[in-house]
Amino acid sequence: MTLKYTFFKWALFFVILTGIILLFYTNYRAAVLSITHDEAVIHQLIIQYSRLEIFNYVISQDHMIHTWLMKFTSQQFQDNEYILRLPNLLGHLLYIIFSILLLVKLKNPHLLIAGFVLLNCNPYLLDFFSIARGYGLSLSIMMISIYFGFSFVLSRRTHLLILSFFFSILSVLTVITLLNFIIALGGTLALTMIFWWAQNKFKLKRDLLHISVIFLLVMVASLVLLYLKLGEPLNRLQTENFIYQTSQSNFYLETIRSIIYRSSYNYDQILVVDIGSYIFIAAFLLAFFIIAPMIIKKDYSFTGRLMFFSLMIFLIVVISTTLQNSLFDIRFLGNRTATFIAPLMVLFIVGFVDELSQLKTIRIPVIVLIYLAAALFLFNTAKNANLEKYLDWPYESSTKEMMHDLCEDAGHKPGKNYKMGIVWLYEPSINFYRFIWDIDWLEEVDRKGYIGDFDYFYVLEKDSVLTKDIFRDKIKVKSYKKSGMVLLKKEDFNEENTQ
């Protein structure tokens, strides 16, 4: 017992130290990486609208709580990338803390170490903890909700049930696609209580009746609140075709494979992605063969296991999104909209290994396998760690550097105003730096392109589609290999500037 306790303490030390390293990584990236197109668009909106308008979904965005927090931090501190990304950085801290607290409940130091690595060492998710978009914050709030939900299953204390639903509501208000999560959470807890009643042969028991009534009240209140709050923005999203698909597909291809592929940071070996997908599907199906005999024997002890809890949440998410696709033609979740699927998949795998490790004959092999998976995740994270770009916005990797170079080349306070022609994608990010750095000598850029009378040009260096002769009569200020862009100025720029 002493040896096990000592190992558990060392396991806890390892995950806390790893968590600190990951926090340092996301904080440093948030401070140095260039602003992205999507972040800059939201920054334009928070300048225009009040906190009340953001809270009431007046603007077209579905990350309300995160946008509101961006507005709050930008008002409290001077605008810059780090301040705008602060809500997600705080969310990352919460995600780490509650993932540890959840894994500690398994009372297995091996699963604490391996489970923490699988949950936290994902380069794609780490992107969203260091960028000003709502996905990272929604992950942390969802993890808090899962922690309280699983704690309720273990203890049957109703205040934990209320807390679980409270944070699930916040997760939906942070990213609307997590409606699938709150539906899955409610369905899982409802199914759990049905098994509790079955365990007591459906006899009227005061404590179960009390829990069931509280659950129904909380579930109904949550759905009514979300309907009242989200009815209008969901209709707007529907009208604007944000949530509707362009082609038919399925949950496996669009969601499972896409999030595994993104988690590998677009690793070009599709076979590896396929193998990971097949292993998950095999474990998912095998879990039902583990639970089914227990149901037949009327042994409902599995309701207190992480495997059942996470399995049901994932299964109901699959059913929910598939029904939405079939009935309303709403596209399946994929890439960044499926980020919340990744922790659910990992929690299921951890719960599955926890279940198998109860069998002495295969305990060591399954623990070795999950350690190997954790080692693979660590290697993938270390391999893809970078201070240059975000996976979904690689084209913005040089924007901040380019704006510095522009200021150096033109002079910080030139005697005239300059105009810049750009690729339309860069309009929000360039205007962002123009605003926060107070570059009043550069006219606001627009999305009309770079054909015209401009002083500077920020274009693709290998642009053979739009304008083959864009480099004619231009001076190259600097090339940016990371993004494939180049900063140009017109040939007679220096002559005009000295007049």
| This prediction's pTM | 0.93
Give the gyration radius of the chain's Cα atoms. Answer: 26
- The residues that bridge with 486 in the sheet, in sequence order, are 459, 479
Task: Retrieve residue 68's tokens.
Answer: 């509101």
**In contact, 377 and 117? CB cutoff 8 Å:** yes
| pLDDT tier for residue 246 given thresholds of 50, 70 and 90 | very low
Q: For position 238, what pLDDT does the model report? A: 64
Closest among 361, 437, 368, 345 to 399, alpha carbons compared: 437
**In contact, 345 and 259? CB cutoff 8 Å:** yes
CA-CA distances (angstroms) from residue 94 to 101, 111, 265, 306? Answer: 10, 20, 24, 20
Give the whole-angstrom CA distance, residue 428 versus residue 274: 37
- Quick check: 493 pLDDT over 70? no
Q: Which residues contact 431 (CB under 8 A, 6 or more apart)?
A: 40, 44, 444, 445
Q: For position 466, what pLDDT does the model report? A: 47
Give the whole-angstrom CA distance, residue 124 versus residue 115: 17
Task: Retrieve residue 230's tokens.
Answer: 């989200």
Whole-number mean pLDDT of the chain?
90
Domain ranges of the chain: 2-384, 398-498
The winner for highest mean pLDDT among 137-151, 352-366, 438-452 is: 137-151
Task: List phi, psi (to 5°) of 130.
Answer: -125, 20
